[in-house]
Amino acid sequence: MLDLVTLGETCAALVAKSGGPLRHTVEFERRIGGAESTVAAGVARLGHRAGWISRLGADELGAFILGVMRSENVDVKHVMMVEGEQTGVFLRENRSDGRSNVFYYRSTSAFTSFSPDDLDEGYIGSARFLHLGGITPGLSSSCLATVQRAMEIAKARDVKITFDLNYRVKVWPPEDARAALESLMTNADHVLAGREDLSKLTGISDQDAQLDYLSGLGISNIVLKWGSDGTIWAGPEGVLRVPSVTVTHPVDRFGVGDAFAAGYVGGLIQGKNGPDAVDLGNRVAGWSLQLPGNIESLPTRKELEGAQKTSELTRR
């Protein structure tokens, strides 16, 4: 039995080694970039059994991605390698003010053809948790249908669903995304959402208003991330604020939201309550911020064991 199954596209990521416009960049670091695969790797590093469902081109970049995931002890038996189709790619530009711009080349990637018929019901049903995100359903109509079907399978098999909003304007505009994402969030057992993603999707920027919006969708467990201002958890026990972990000199913000999700889901797998799972998510994210890369920067359970637990809960 698996602790977690994730579903989503992973691209080859070419990250500029220097700052400034991409047109002037000469050297890149090759990494892999995928929200759901990062969560699977993060949960595996915490000592749990994770599987990843995906579709890659049978090309060199696909082989690179598959090799990385295997090395992270993630089950990849349901990753399809498709002849004649390409693996998605994106390039990341680093600006002097700390911002990053991402340029996607994935609109015709192998994953965009993923369909509900490609899902193995028994595999999803073998897990305790199914983790999904808001990027995958925006890639194509068949990807949206696949995520919806995966949720149906999970519910029928009593598999708990975690959903990370992870909204990307470059993947689909808010007028196309909002109704679909609201439906998906409503059907999840746990929803993770960052303030910037929610603001871009809904136009709502006030913290209380964002929490009211999510509560209005009928979500049982809400995780509202507000960066250095901490994380709000709202569930059956009430509403609690969990302070973030202070990182004085962050090295790389790439994938930090996925690191948080890995910690949160890992906490749920360990049987922690919502606020304690949020605290673990904050600690995993804080660790990740101090190192370059997304998967490369994820901590193991052993590495976290000696870290001082600094978060305390404040009732709101």
* Residues with a known catalytic role: 258
The token pair at 172 is 């689909």
The residue with tokens 């304007």 is: 169
Beta bridge partners of 287: none
| CA distances for 125 relative to 40, 62, 291, angstroms | 16, 26, 35
CA dihedral 253, 259, 261, 266 (to 10 degrees): -160
For residue 10, give the amino acid letter.
T
| Long-range pairs of 270-273 with CB within 8 A, sequence gap ≥ 24 | 273/237
The token pair at 11 is 């691209």
What's the chain's length in residues? 316
Query: What is the phi/psi pair of residue 130, to 5°?
Result: -115, 125
In the chain the first and final C-alpha atoms are separated, in Å, by 38
CA dihedral 221, 272, 4, 258 (to 10 degrees): 70
Task: Say how far residue 22 (Cα) sits from the centre of its chain.
Answer: 25
For 225, half-sphere exposure in the C-beta direction (CA atoms, 13 angstrom radius) is 24
Is the CB of residue 151 less than 8 Å from the CB of residue 188?
yes
| CA distances for 95 relative to 17, 18, 138, 202, 308, angstroms | 11, 9, 27, 27, 33
Query: What is the phi/psi pair of residue 31, to 5°?
Result: -135, 180
Q: Where are the alpha helices (DSSP H) in the chain?
A: 35-45, 60-71, 121-125, 141-156, 174-186, 195-202, 207-216, 256-269, 274-289, 301-305
